[in-house]
Amino acid sequence: MRIEITDLHKSFGTLTVFDGLNIKFEPGEIAVVMGRSGQGKSVMLKHLVGLEKPEAGQILIDGRDITGLRESELYPIRMRFGMIFQNGGMLQSLNVEDNVALPLIEVQGSDRHAIMDKVHEKLKMVGLEGKEKQSVTTLSGGQQKRVAIARALVQDADCLLFDEPTAGLDPPISQTVDEVIMEVNQQTGATMIVVTHDLVSAFQVGQRLHLLDKGKVVASGTPDEFRRIDTPVVREFLKRGTLIGQEGGGR
């Protein structure tokens, strides 16, 4: 999926979130969107699936502007996206396989055998084979994130949206989640957009990085290109993550 946001403007009352936002996401890439809190990263994700409407500008999904579409027209577009929420979004009363199956049950209805075959395939893809009947309450934070990724994958989404996928996780668990994101990207070819404050994770998984500040993209590039950007806003932002300069970042 190719996504292009052009001259996007959005405010909430007197708060300006986007003041001419321009950003592109290419098919099959892992793109990371960074920025301080309150810069509109999560709001941008909501715009991509039509949950928020801009005051001006365009959002092109494979060349089609979605900003003026009705709810009935947005539904098939939303089905092309999979969303991985910061808290995982698991239903605690359901086991692992039933959580993953939810999106398909809504669409396919009663064909449970076909649904479960697909659920087990996606759980294997994220390294949770054998956990199908386990309660999600017994899983670690990293395992719950992997269940959330499997649930997004079960729709065969063209684009996966990650909202702070490593938030609240210890570094070794964050590393595991990063590895799953990269492996899934290689296996599916899906476009992936990762919103994160975790600079170590950003430079590990990101093939292209974007920094938001004051309603606009102020820097973009591959991890190596990004490290070489010498502007005050980039220097200040990167100062918070000393590990990103170490060996091993980026692809």
pLDDT tens readout for residues 158-183: 999 999 998 888 888 899 999 999 99
- Measure the CA–CA gap between 249 and 251, rounded to whole angstroms: 7
The per-residue pLDDT for 245 is 39
The per-residue pLDDT for 64 is 95
- Measure the CA–CA gap between 70 and 207, rounded to whole angstroms: 33
Indicate if the pLDDT at residue 244 is higher than 60. Answer: no
**Domains in the chain, number:** 2
Residue that is last in its domain, among 133, 156, 179: 156
Task: Say if residue 163 is in the same domain as residue 228.
Answer: yes
Angle between helical axes of 171-188 and 112-125 (0-180°, round to 10):
120
- Residue 114 domain-assigned (yes or no): yes
Residue with tokens 């386990």, as numbered in its chain: 134
- Residue 180 domain-assigned (yes or no): no
Task: Say if residue 164 is in the same domain as residue 233.
Answer: yes
Q: What are phi and psi of 14, to 5 degrees?
A: -90, -5
Task: Say if residue 110 is in the same domain as residue 122.
Answer: yes
234 Cβ contact partners less than 8 Å away, ≥ 6 residues apart:
211, 218, 219, 226
The per-residue pLDDT for 158 is 94
Task: Say if residue 56 is in the same domain as residue 164.
Answer: yes
Residue with tokens 């290689």, as numbered in its chain: 186
Report pTM. Answer: 0.89
Cα end-to-end span (Å), the chain: 20
Q: Is 109 exposed, middle or buried (0-12, 13-18, 19+ CB in 10 A)?
A: exposed
How large is the average pLDDT for residues 8-23? 95
Single-letter code of the amino acid located at 158: D
Range of the domain at 130: 87-156
The per-residue pLDDT for 109 is 59
- Residue 177 domain-assigned (yes or no): no
Task: Say if residue 71 is in the same domain as residue 110.
Answer: no
How large is the average pLDDT for residues 116-121? 91
Lowest mean pLDDT among 22-26, 123-127, 190-194, 243-247: 243-247
- Measure the CA–CA gap between 244 and 197, rounded to whole angstroms: 12
Task: Say if residue 3 is in the same domain as residue 73.
Answer: yes
224 Cβ contact partners less than 8 Å away, ≥ 6 residues apart:
250
Domain containing residue 66: CATH number: 3.40.50.300
Residue that is last in its domain, among 156, 176, 209: 156
Task: Say if residue 142 is in the same domain as residue 99.
Answer: yes
How large is the average pLDDT for residues 220-244? 82
Task: Say if residue 121 is in the same domain as residue 211.
Answer: no
Task: Say if residue 109 is in the same domain as residue 229.
Answer: no
9 Cβ contact partners less than 8 Å away, ≥ 6 residues apart:
18, 19, 20, 21, 54, 55, 56, 57
250 Cβ contact partners less than 8 Å away, ≥ 6 residues apart:
203, 204, 206, 207, 222, 223, 224
Task: Say if residue 99 is in the same domain as residue 133.
Answer: yes
- Residue 127 domain-assigned (yes or no): yes
Task: Say if residue 125 is in the same domain as residue 3.
Answer: no
The DSSP letter of residue 88 is -
Lowest mean pLDDT among 77-91, 132-146, 234-248: 234-248
Instruction: Round the average pLDDT of the chain to a whole number and report it.
Output: 88
Report which secondary-structure segment, H or E, holds 163. strand 159-163
- Residue 179 domain-assigned (yes or no): no
Task: Say if residue 72 is in the same domain as residue 163.
Answer: yes
